[in-house]
Every structure is written in structure tokens, then in C-alpha cells.
Amino acid sequence: MERVESMSRATLIFLIPAVTAGAAVEFNRDIRPVLTTHCTACHGGVKAAGGVSFVYREKALAAGKSGKRTIVPGRPEESEMMRRVTTDDEDELMPKPEHGPRLGAAEVALLRQWIAEGAPWSEHWSVVRPVDPEVPVVKRGDWVREPMDAFVLARQEAAGMGPAGAAGDAEWLRRVSLDLTGLPPSLEEWAAFSGDRGSEVERRGRVVDRLLASPSYGERWASLWLDLARYADTYGFEKDPYREIWPWRDWVIRAFNADMPFSEFTVRQLAGDLLENATADDLLATAFHRNTQNNSEGGTDDEEWRTTAVHDRVNTTWTVWQATTFGCVQCHSHPYDPYPHTDYYQFKAFFDSTEDCDQNDDWPRFAWVGDAAVAERAARAYGEMGRLRERIGESGRAAVLAAEPWRGIGVTAAVASGGVLTVRDGGEVVASGTMPVGVAYTVSLSGVEGMTAIRMRVRPESDEPKDWPERGCMVTDFKVSVVGADGKKAPMGIREVVADQLTGPFDPLALARGGERAGFGGYPVLEGPRWCVFVLAGPVPAGATVEVVMKHGAPVNSGFQGTPTRRFSFEGTTAVVPEGGRGELLAALEKERGEYRKAGGTSVPVLSERVDAPRDTRLYLRGNRLTKGERTEPGIPGVFGGEAKVGRQTRLDMAKWLVSEANPLTARVMANRLWAALFGRGIVETEEDFGSSGSLPVDQALLDHLAVRLVKVHGWSLKRMLREMVLSSTYGQTSRVRAEVVAGDPRNVFWSRGPRQRLTAEMVRDQALALSGLLSAKQYGPPVYPPQPDGVWSTVYSGDAWRTSEGEDRYRRAVYTYVKRTSGYPGFLSFDAPSRDLCTARRMPTNTPLQALVTLNDPAYVEMAVALAKRAAKEGGTARERVARALRLITLEEARAETVETLGKLYDAAVVEYGADAGQAKLLGGDAETAALTLVMNTLLNTDFALNR
Amino acid sequence: MNTRDLLFTPTRRHFLRGCSVGLAGMWLGERAGAAVAAKDPARPLRVAAPHFPARAKRVIYLHMAGSPSQLELFDYKPELSRLDGRDCPASFLAGKQFAFIQGVPKMLGGQYPFRQYGQSGQWLSDRLPHLATVADELCIVKSMYTDQFNHGPAQLVMHTGTATPGAASFGAWSTYGLGSENDNLPGFIVLTSGGKNPDAGKSVWGSGYLPGVYQGVQCRSSGEPVLFLKDPPGIDRGMRRRSLDALAELNARTAEETGDPETLTRMAQYEMAFRMQVAATDAFDLSKEPKEVHELYGTQPGRESFANNCLLARRLAERGVRFIQLFDWGWDSHGAGKEEALNHGFKNKCQSVDQACAALLTDLRRLGLLEDTLVIWGGEFGRTPMRENRNGQEMAFVGRDHNPSAFTIWMAGGGVRAGTSYGATDELGYEALVDKVSPHDFHATVLALMGFDHLRLTYPLAGVPLRLSNVTKPGSKVVRGLMA
């Protein structure tokens, strides 16, 4: 810790090569990059060639297969490593010549000095908790408005640089408005700001407070979160059907607008369902991780895609909160970072026991209602239903234990309506042959006199747990008849059904009466041995036998694969299975279910934990789900330490850990993300990777300062953090500098000028709508369909069509546009919006001709140009006055004469041509003047100053 | 140069957008030996040299979405015909996963007669009479196999090397590695026919983790070939020129005021867009082709068809488009209905592609383009030698289920060994046995034909040098036997 802190101070200018004479070697700064660049590909977490690995210190100090110690602290001359990087023998040299160049003299010297100093090791900077760094002392103290400015300035001063001048009011207002709300400032807002006679700090503070309070703020920042959450309105594969999950998108917008602390925002999304007395909003929040893809293609293996979704939840959680490439650990130990293979599956166990299992209807879902009172009634009933089922399950299992002894029942015959059933010695029945969907079995049982209940046991075909789960089996109808000594058959009622677990989309309890979703077994897969008890209406009379008819009416994998029971047997008891008050509980459950249904609402997929039967999470050897290893329990990676908890850790424990003080990454990752959104590049440029393979922070002290402030000073309030950032001198610099200044710091790594960023895909559209006066202020609700060319959607097996929205829905903010994964909105894709298949931590801005085609020719943009022309013409005046008016809408200030003149000349030429061709003019909105002005507006919306902020 | 110096090398603002993701990219690139040369962000599609001389300068990839039956077209199996109608042996079923087949299905013999064609004596069924005339151009790979048995994931594997969406497609890798030879057309163009997009949607031509500039541009064979290509009604070419001139004046002033190099790039991109409007319109105008060419392909300008797309592919190849990806939908011959029956709809599908495929090879040969144009034809997996019995019942029409264990593709031109048949399946065409080729081997081989070492054409993301041949499939190899 001390080490990191001193480093932060010592390296005010990051990336000054290596150590100066006499200074101690710093492992993270000097040595780790050498190891990661040259060594760990072969001697790392995946491969440890020759038994040598440089990921963990104890391994690096140990002997390799050769028996020689790789590193002997204090003794470079005895360390095999030094010999191998310096030898002239090509066969012995490391790195091997075919793998890479030999180490430079400076690198070798660093290694030697490091080993001589005892080879001290420190964990990677990002897994060590941030400490509040001292605010540096700077020469130009007057420039510092927020403490973060001191960090930025100190680095500039040390490099002999200085900040650019302050941005003028117009430049700053446009930038901060677009950054905070995604919309340009209106002329009224400009007038209010420029007319504000307060101090600089007060005036700008007032603007920022207004922007942060605007409902548009949430719409802008939600977009950033929706990329991370891979939010889309469709499932993702093949038919790519509609998923009704927009209420969650609205939840995000509301959460940003309400400035929900990021800690709470985190816990509710990852584990809202596990909070005590979870509210409707808590449940809705968990849809975050139901944004995973669902494969509804006919004949797909539901378990394969369930697993894919769970892995995506693990990987997304690590990218979003930890900026760690945890996905690597799915197949093998992390090549560079200290995460052994088992860490992945321990963490996966947090997510592996939710009910969802790639069902075509996205089950399970929670019906969300807008009306708060109704929503809370529904949430209460929903929660109560879960608790009642838990109690019913517990009571039932106790009752079955109380009815010991259970003894085996002989099977005299077993016939299937298709395929073959074979009765083995001991009464076990096994299925073979072609079992059609819906197959029915008729099984005759003997030696059942006096029995009050029958237990059916189902076993997987394999007895090896590593082979599980197996194909699903689901008994959806179970009827018992008593066959008297005279051969007469009479139906026997089933008083109650008791099952070993009450998980899955089918309800064993309902088998007693039959009904929708009644069924017992493993669905969509059989995860292990199962049992289910059918309590009979009365004991089986003397001399009688029993006939059971069971049907399998619930095919899996989109309805194409049957679910026959493949291996089963029966037991019975003559003891009484105690009722134990379950009748009342069932009645209460029914009542709550009625309450819940009454609430109605939009049914949104959510997380729902299996209460009585966590899945058996096992390590996948080399990441292959078909070759499983040992069982794992939920747990946080060991590198983070952490206190042991009694009992099984839950998803809620994990969520709380992410935002606890013990976590070194979450606050840094979030602070970096906010910084990157405002400044165009993160302090750690690889926003998605803070590990050894990612970029180092260009200024770790600044990053840690922000991370600590976010938590300690601002209590995870993003609005307060953003307020501080946009009011800083760093943010307030002008971006208008001379080309030589740009050339001196082309990527602005010193933040020595203001950020200049191209508008995001959403902003490009929203700004044009706002300028043209068409923008609808309507918030929330189902996705909308702004104009899109015909034929863009043509998905297999899907009747979905793009029904262009009418009225104000045509002009809603981009965040409300329907997101179809397999066919994104063309205008957004061109401007780098991701497809939302997977978590996207960073959009990479491109600059392409296809973008030009969108904003020049897309009929939606032409429509906006027409509207903008009307708006500019409204107050009359000369053509040039109209042009100047439109220009001011973008630049706020009085337009420069030469700019007006350039566009004015375009207008003059156009008006002559349109005058000579009334037909053309009509196509562009009306008479020659209107058409010419529309052309000018179309041009204006394409200017570089319009497309940037 | 060490990585730190590299990071400080003065470059354009968005340099890293074009070539890597930060420091990670630098050292990974270095470690890999020689990554693709750094990209100029202003010209990310500038022509770049591959690792070694290329045999194929461009690719035309004809993907038959849904997967045609190899047993009805290329993989002649007399033994299967003898077993026709018998129960499938249990050994075929153990440990297998099917999309639709249940329990114990019946074996199904090939539905069409086979014969040998050309000097090379290639086996083809009577469904491909035109292709038979160019049999000596074909390199038929009969031993393809994959690990995915559903369309979406299997298509993704064939086009991106990864079964889930999010990876970069073949075409994107090609333009990332080689750039585009035509500044006025996209370097990676996608054309679809059969009425639908492929099952996996646009992810099969996406740029995935590569910069968006490398994604395929879907063009349409009727209407506007590229979205928003046409000037809006009421703005003619002359007017657009004037408007762009005014725009250039304004942007030049912005560039001066801000010193932002991106502004200069934007100016260039607007000019390119203007040229593209003409170039793309011209490239897509089939009416410029003479009558005999239309007869050769069986094309009818103005409608969306595979034949039209083949002719467009040739026109685009002539213009230097790097990767031309065709998808033809409708090959999923389960037999669940007439359209997807081997004895009905499948015949029509064969007819709709046979002539055009042969014409494309003939035409490319005639123009001297076949030498350095690689043509690839195939689906995403094969079909079972068993007859599909959906829901465990015999179906009214004859069809086959998905079979990931064996399928056939063919290649022609661009450095492949013409007139050969590579690899073999077992006696029933169920599993690839001899000289097996995985999708990753296929990628490695095609990249080799294009001049790349597939292990060195990488893009670093989150610490991993990602590649088309899938970094998690370390065994993938170049199949020399396919190369001339």
C-alpha cells in the first residue's frame, strides 16, 4: 500500500522511462511491464513452460523443471532468469529468438537491480485499494478550481506544459449541455446564462445545477449504461423476437434522474430480488442481467444457452464493475492476472442458481405496473408467493421423512405409446427407442396393498455427477387407478403431491389437480436424481394392484425435443404422510397468486433465485461445459482477501462486496468511466481492462483521488461527481487551439486543452431534432420506430415489421428507439452504436463516408432540415438573417460574417436554380426560397462544428 | 522501440482507434512478432501489404444459409443408399445431439443420381448440371466439420470463428488486414437473396471488436444499393456539389480554429461519400451488362436474386472490392414442409444457384480475374444421413436434420488446387474421417491464400490477441492440400 502511494506521488509524470540512478526499482512500474511484455505469454497463468511462471511471486521464486531457482532474491548471479536473458547461447536465450527480441540493456539492468534489491513483489496496482493521495502543490494555484485540477496541472507543469485558456461561455455551455443532457442549449438558456451577472463560479454552477436537474440528464446517461448492460428490445438469435424489457430501461433513466447512489444502483440491479421485502423497483432492477441473449431457434439446447447467458452475466459483471478480463478465466487460469481457473466457477456459482433457463417465453418474469400502489401490492404478493412455496416445500419434505419406511414397489408391466420400456430386476424402468413428444407410459405396480402414498424416483441415465445435467424429463400428467382382484379398474384420487424441490417452470404441486404448467421432473434438463410423492386419497385396498398412467406433454428446446422419463422406479409407504397444514398454505398461495394476477402490468424478465435447490456448479475443464470437474461453492477471488462468511454466500453478498470498501476497483472504474465520457478518453484508456494487459493509468493519483472522492465525499452520487468534473478548470479549457499545440500533445494525454468530441450516435439525432424544433419531450414507454428505410428488417421466421411511429413518437429521443440486435437502427450503427449483443465498455468513434450519407441523405434528416428551415424563416428577415439565426441555434454566439456569407452564397445559387425548376423546389419543401433554405440547413447540420461538442 | 515510447509517438488523435487498444495493443502486437502495420486513422482502409505475397486478392463467399445437403450434391455414398429405410444403428446416436431427430430414425439414401465430371472426374449429382461443366475449376472439401448444430451459432462460427455474436467477421478481418483497393466503394460488401437475412443476422458481417469502419456494408440489389446513397428528392448532383463546397469552406475554418485533425478527416470522408454515390450506383447498374452476360448468369435486372447477386459480385470484384459476401437463404431441408423438402423446394434452390455459380466462375476466368479471386461456396454445417422424424414421427416430405460432423464446401480460383476433391467422410457421409477440416482450419487456409499468417493477423482486446481462427482453438492449421 505504502509502495503504491509513494509511487503515485513520485510519478506525477507517468511514463518517464524507468528508474533514475540511485532510485529503487518499483515492481509495478518497472518490472511487471517487462514480465508481461516478454515473459508471461509462455511463463504465465495459462502456460508455465518449464514449470516457470511470473504471475505469482512464490512460483517465480521457486525452481523450474530444470531444478534451478528462477529468481534468488538478493542474488542476481544465482538466478536462472538472469542467466537466461543474458546468455549468448541461442538455444538457451530467453525470450526464445522465435518468440521475440532479446531484452534491451536497460531492461536487463532493471531486472538485475530488482533481484539484487530482494525481488520485492507487489500486487498489480488495480487490485490494491486506492488511498486518498495528497493534493499536489502547483505553481499556478489560481488555476485550480477543484482539487482534481491540481493533479492535472502538476503533471503539466512537470512536463513543462501549461493549460489552454478558458473556453468562452458559448463553447462551454454547448459542451456541458450536450455532455450532461445529450441536448444542445436553447437560445433561452443561452440568454439566461450570458445575462447572469453572478461570479464565474456561481453562473456556471447554476447552469450545471439546472442541467443535472433536467429530466434529459437521465436519458443521456442511461445510454452509457445501456451499452454496458447490453440492453436491447429483442432476444438476439435467429427470429430475434421482441423482448418486453423497456420498463427496465425506464428504471435506469429514473435512477439516474433521481441520482440513486451508485452503490444502491449496483446492489438493486445485481440482487434486488434478494433484498428483504423487495419492492417492485428492486425486482425490475434485476432485469439488468436478463438482457442476456436467449436462443429461441428451433432445436437449440436450452441448457447450452442458459450456460452461455450465465457466463455472460459473470463476464459482464466483471467488465462493468471491475474492468477485469475475467472471461479469460473461464477456460484457464488468467494468463497475466492473479485469478486461478477455479475463481471463475466460484464466482459463477453466485449467478448459476437463478430460475431462468433459456425458455422461449423468457420465464421467469415479473409484471411491472406504473401505478406505485398497485406495483407494491403486486411485489408483496410476488414475494409472499415465494415464501409460501418455500414453507410448503419444507413441510412436505418433513412429512415424507415422517412417513418412513418407504419400500420398493414391483413393476409388473410398463408400456409406452411410442418407444420401448424395459423393466429391470428391482423394478427400475428404463426407456429406449424413439419416444415421441407427448409419450404416455402405462405402468402396473404390484405389492401395493395398504399403501397410502407412492413415491416416484427419477434417476439420470449416468450415475456420474460430472455427466449431469442430462436431457430433460417432465411428467405433466400422472393418474393412478386401482385394479381390483376382479380385474376392474377404478380411478384413485391424488390428495396431495409432495416434491423434493419446487424449482423450474413446472409445478409438481399442481399435478394433484392437473392444470397448466403442472409437472414433475427435470426441465429443461435433469440435473440429478429427483423424487416426487403422490399421496393417495385412501389406502390401496387388499388384493388390489395399481396402474399408473404418466404423460410427458412438455417438450424442450423450443418444443422440438420430447422429455420422456428415462430411468425411474417406485416406492410406497403404508404410514400416513402428515398433512402438516399444507392445505392452508396452498390456499394462501392461491390467494396471493390471485392478488398478483389482479395487478396486471407489463411482464418483464427478472432474476429469481431457486430457493430450495441451488444448481451444482462445476469447473469446466478448458471451459468446455461437456467436460466437468470439481464442484465449486460461491466465492470472491482469493486475491481480494475478504472475510469468511458462515454458510453459503449469495448473489446479494457479492453485490455488496462490489461496492464495499474492500473492493479496490469499482469506484475507480466508475470514476474513470465518467471522466472518459466527459474528456473523450479515460485516465485508464482501456476502460474495460484495468488488468496487466490493459493500459496503465496515465495519472494514478488523479484516478485514486476521484475514486476516493466519489465514495467518501460524494457518497456514490454520480451527479455530485459530475458536477465537480464539469466545473473544473480542466474541463473548462478551450478546445480551440493552434495545430502546433495539438501536434505537441496529439492525444491530449495531459488534458492541456479542452475536450473536443464527436457527438454520440444518440446525440447526432437528438441534436438535429432539437434544433429543428421537432423533438418530443415525451419520456418513457415502449420502444418507438422512427423512420427507417424499407427492407432493413428481414429476419427469418419472424412476422415482426418496422411500423413507423406516427405523431410525436416519430420524434422521440434516440434512447427510446427500438433496439433490434440482429438489425440495428442504421443511422446509429453508422455512428458507432454497438449492436448490444454483449457488454460494450467503450465505443470507438470512427469517421467514415457512410456517416456523411446518413446525415446528408437519410429522409429523417431531410425532414429535420425542412423543419429547421421553417424555424429559421419564422421571424422573417433576409435570407442571410435567416441563415444567421439557424447558425446561432448551434453556435449560440453571433455568427461570423464569413460563415454567414459562405452559406448565403450557397443560398443565392440554390434559389436561382430552384426558381428555374419549381418541380425540384417542391420536392424540397415548397417554393424556391424554402427549398434553398432547406438545402442550407441540410448543409449546416453536416458541419463539423455541429457534429462535435 | 519500447511500448512507452510508442505510446508517446506523436500520432493522430484517434490513432489507437485504428490499430489497437492502448498499451495492451502495443505490446501484444510486438509480442506477436509483426502485427498488421499501424493504421492511419484518416485512411483506415488504405491498401496494406499482407505478411507474404497473396494468391487471392479478393474473396467472393457464397454462403448457402440453412445448409444444403452434401449427400444430395457432392458426397456420393452408395452404401447409404443400400441402407435406405433401415433403423439407424445405435452407435450413430450415442452422445449425439440433434436439433429435431428423436429416438431411432431411419437411414435415408441419397435422393439423386451421381456421376463423375470433367477431366478431374469430380463426383456431382444431377442437381448441378451447370456446375458440372466447370468441375475442373473446383476444389471440393468433403471433410468439413463444426461444433455447432444450430444455424445461428454455426453461421457465426463460419464467419467469425466464434459461436456467439460479438466477434469480427471474415470480411472485416480482410479489410482490416488488406484495406480496400477502391476508395469509392466499401471494401466489404454483403448481398442477400432468398428473401431473408441469414439466421445469425447482421452479426455475421459485423466488425465485432474491430473498429466499425471494417464492418460489411449490406447492399441491396434492388432500390438504393447502399442505404442513403441517393441524394434526397429535390437535391440534384449539382446542388449537392455546391452544398459540399460550402461545407468544405466552413469545415476548413473549423480545422484552422481547433487544430483538430479529425476535422480534416471528416472533410475527406464527405468527398469520398460524394464519389461513392456515383461509383456505387454505377457498380450496381446491371443494365450495363450485355445480353449474352445476362444469358450466361440467368439474370433479370431489377429483382433480388442469387443470380443477380453473382453478377454484381463480379462487377464489384472488377472494381477492387476486397470481400464480397453473398447469403442465399432457404437451404434448410428438414422436410417439415414442401418448401424445405429434398424432393421439392431443394430442387428449386439448386436450380436457382447452379447456373449462376457456374457463370460466375466462367466469367471470372474469361476476364482473367479467377487467378486472384477466391470463390467459396458452402453452408454452415451438413445434413444427417438419417431421415428427419420430427416429434418422433415419419413426416410427409423427405428431409434431413442438421449434422455438424460432416459437410462439403467448394472453393475455386485464388490459389486453390483446382480439380481436386479433398478429405472424405465415412461410408455413410455421417462424419468427416480423412483430412478433417474445421472452420478454424478453413479460416487459417483462406487467410494464407490472402497472404496472412492467421496467428499474426490479430487484434488485441482485453489482453488477448484475438484472431479469426479463434484464439481459444489453438490447434487450427493451414490446410496445404487445398492450395495449388
Q: Given pLDDT bands bounded at 50, 70 and 90, which one contains residue A773?
A: very high
Residues in chain B with CB shorter than 8 Å from the CB of A238 are: 151-152, 199-201
Sign of CA dihedral A479, A483, A484, A489: positive
- In one-letter notation, the amino acid at residue A629 is G
The whole-number pLDDT of residue B6 equals: 30
- Residue pLDDT, tens place only, A111-123: 999 999 999 988 8
Give SS3 for B318: helix
- Do residues B386 and B403 share a domain? yes
Cell of A309: 447467458
The whole-number pLDDT of residue A12 equals: 31
- Do residues B16 and B124 share a domain? no
- Do residues B244 and B290 share a domain? no
Domain of residue B321 covers 43-225+285-482
On the question of pLDDT at B140 being above 80, the answer is yes
Average pLDDT over residues A308-331: 94
Q: Which of A547, A575, A603 is the last residue of a domain?
A: A575
On the question of pLDDT at B34 being above 70, the answer is no
- Residue pLDDT, tens place only, A476-522: 999 999 999 899 999 999 999 999 999 999 999 999 987 789 999 99
Domain of residue A107 covers 17-122
- Residue pLDDT, tens place only, B389-439: 887 777 888 999 999 999 999 999 999 999 999 999 999 999 999 999 999
Q: Is A906 part of the contact surface with chain B (CB cutoff 8 Å)? A: yes
Of B23, B164, B265, the CB nearest to A696: B23
Closest by CA position to A322, among listed A665, A696, A780, A818: A665
Q: Residue A850 and residue B254: Cβ atoms within 8 Å?
A: no
β pairing state of B58-65 and B373-378:
parallel
Give SS3 for A156: helix
Query: Which CATH number is B309's domain given?
Result: 3.40.720.10
- Do residues B68 and B214 share a domain? yes
Distance, in Å, from the CA atom of B78 to the CA atom of B262, rounded to the nearest integer, reads 64
On the question of pLDDT at A787 being above 90, the answer is yes
Range picked from A552-561, A576-585, A817-826 for highest mean pLDDT: A576-585
Residues in chain A with CB shorter than 8 Å from the CB of B200 are: 237-238, 822
Question: Which of A6-10, A464-468, B289-293 comes out lowest in average pLDDT?
Answer: A6-10
Question: Which of A26-30, B85-89, B299-303 comes out lowest in average pLDDT?
Answer: B299-303
Residues in chain A with CB shorter than 8 Å from the CB of B23 are: 685-686, 694-696
- Do residues B32 and B51 share a domain? no
- Do residues B421 and B303 share a domain? yes
Find the closest chain B residue to A753 by CA distance. Answer: B258
Of B100, B104, B273, the CB nearest to A852: B273
Q: Across all residues in chain A, what is the average pLDDT? A: 92
Whether omega for the bond prior to residue B198 falls within 30 degrees of 0, making it cis, is no
Q: Which runs of E-coded beta strand occur in A613-697?
A: 618-620, 628-631
- In one-letter notation, the amino acid at residue A458 is V
Q: Bridge-partner residues for A549, per DSSP? A: A442, A479
Distance, in Å, from the CA atom of B464 to the CA atom of B477, rounded to the nearest integer, reads 19
Q: CA-CA distances (angstroms) from residue B41 to A852, B11, B89, B170, B213?
A: 17, 9, 59, 21, 10
β pairing state of B407-413 and B400-403:
unpaired
Interface probe for B, chosen from A334, A848, A862, A933 (most Cβ of B below 10 Å), is A848
The whole-number pLDDT of residue A482 equals: 97
Which tops the pLDDT comparison, A156 or A29?
A156
- Residue pLDDT, tens place only, A444-480: 999 999 999 999 999 999 999 999 999 999 999 999 9
Q: Bridge-partner residues for A161, per DSSP? A: none
Q: Residue A837 and residue B7: Cβ atoms within 8 Å?
A: no
- Residue pLDDT, tens place only, B156-166: 999 999 988 77
The whole-number pLDDT of residue A834 equals: 87
Average pLDDT over residues B63-73: 97
Residues in chain A with CB shorter than 8 Å from the CB of B392 are: 418-419, 434-437, 439, 562
Is there a domain that residue A107 lies in?
yes
Question: Which of A876-880, A932-936, B301-305 comes out lowest in average pLDDT?
Answer: B301-305
Q: What angle do CA B397, B399, B401 make, to 5 degrees?
A: 140
Contact A568, A522 (CB under 8 A): no
The whole-number pLDDT of residue A644 equals: 63
Give SS3 for B342: coil
Residues in chain A with CB shorter than 8 Å from the CB of B456 are: none
The whole-number pLDDT of residue B149 equals: 87
Q: Cell 428483504, residue?
A: A276
Residues contacting B118, CB < 8 A, separation 6+: B132, B134, B135, B136, B419
Residues in chain A with CB shorter than 8 Å from the CB of B258 are: 735-737, 756
The whole-number pLDDT of residue B464 equals: 74
Helices A928-940 and A859-873 pack at an angle, to 10 degrees, of: 110
Q: What is the pTM of this model?
A: 0.86
Contact B397, B111 (CB under 8 A): no
Question: Looking at the 3D structure of chain B, how many domains does it have?
Answer: 3
Whats the size of chain A, residue-wise? 949
Q: Given pLDDT bands bounded at 50, 70 and 90, which one contains residue B13?
A: very low
Of B98, B196, B246, the CB nearest to A795: B196
Average pLDDT over residues A668-693: 93
The whole-number pLDDT of residue B216 equals: 87
Closest by CA position to B166, among listed A223, A138, A688: A688
On the question of pLDDT at A19 being above 90, the answer is no
Closest by CA position to A698, among listed A756, A750, A754, A752: A750
Distance, in Å, from the CA atom of A723 to the CA atom of A531, rounded to the nearest integer, reads 59
Q: What are phi and psi of B87, to 5 degrees?
A: -65, 140
Nearest CA-CA distance, residue A822 and chain B, Å: 5
- Residue pLDDT, tens place only, B314-355: 999 999 999 999 999 999 999 988 888 999 999 999 999 999
Q: Across all residues in chain B, what is the average pLDDT? A: 87
Residues contacting A175, CB < 8 A, separation 6+: A167, A735, A754, A755, A949
**C-alpha dihedral (A259, A262, A266, A267), degrees to nearest 10:** -80
Q: Which of A535, A560, A575 is the last residue of a domain?
A: A575
Q: CA-CA distances (angstroms) from residue A361 to A191, A248, A295, A364?
A: 53, 17, 11, 8
On the question of pLDDT at B26 being above 50, the answer is no
Q: Given pLDDT bands bounded at 50, 70 and 90, which one contains residue A153?
A: very high
Closest by CA position to A352, among listed A639, A626, A606, A633: A633
Q: Given pLDDT bands bounded at 50, 70 and 90, which one contains residue B218?
A: confident
- Do residues B273 and B314 share a domain? no
Of A560, A743, A849, the CB nearest to B273: A849
Of B104, B197, B234, the CB nearest to A920: B234
Average pLDDT over residues A275-298: 94
- Do residues B337 and B465 share a domain? yes
Contact A331, B472 (CB under 8 A): yes
Q: Which of A523, A554, A575 is the last residue of a domain?
A: A575
Distance, in Å, from the CA atom of A635 to the CA atom of A641, rounded to the nearest integer, reads 11
Nearest CA-CA distance, residue A377 and chain B, Å: 40
Give SS3 for A315: helix
- Do residues B181 and B268 share a domain? no
Q: What are phi and psi of A258, to 5 degrees?
A: -80, 0
The helix or strand, by DSSP H or E, that contains position B325, with its residue range, turns out to be strand B323-329
On the question of pLDDT at B290 being above 70, the answer is yes
On the question of pLDDT at A1 being above 50, the answer is no
Residues in chain B with CB shorter than 8 Å from the CB of A924 are: 232-235
The whole-number pLDDT of residue B91 equals: 84
Distance, in Å, from the CA atom of A320 to the CA atom of A688, rounded to the nearest integer, reads 7
Query: Which CATH number is A491's domain given?
Result: 2.60.120
The whole-number pLDDT of residue A508 equals: 95
On the question of pLDDT at B150 being above 90, the answer is no
**3-state SS, one letter per residue, for B218-274:** ECCCCCCCCCCCCCCCCCCHHHHHHHHHHHHHHHHHHHHHHCCHHHHHHHHHHHHHH
Question: Which of A648-662, A878-892, B79-93, B244-258 comes out lowest in average pLDDT?
Answer: B79-93
- Do residues B12 and B66 share a domain? no
Supply the Cα-derived Rg of chain B in whole angstroms.
24
Q: In this predicted complex, what is the ipTM? A: 0.88
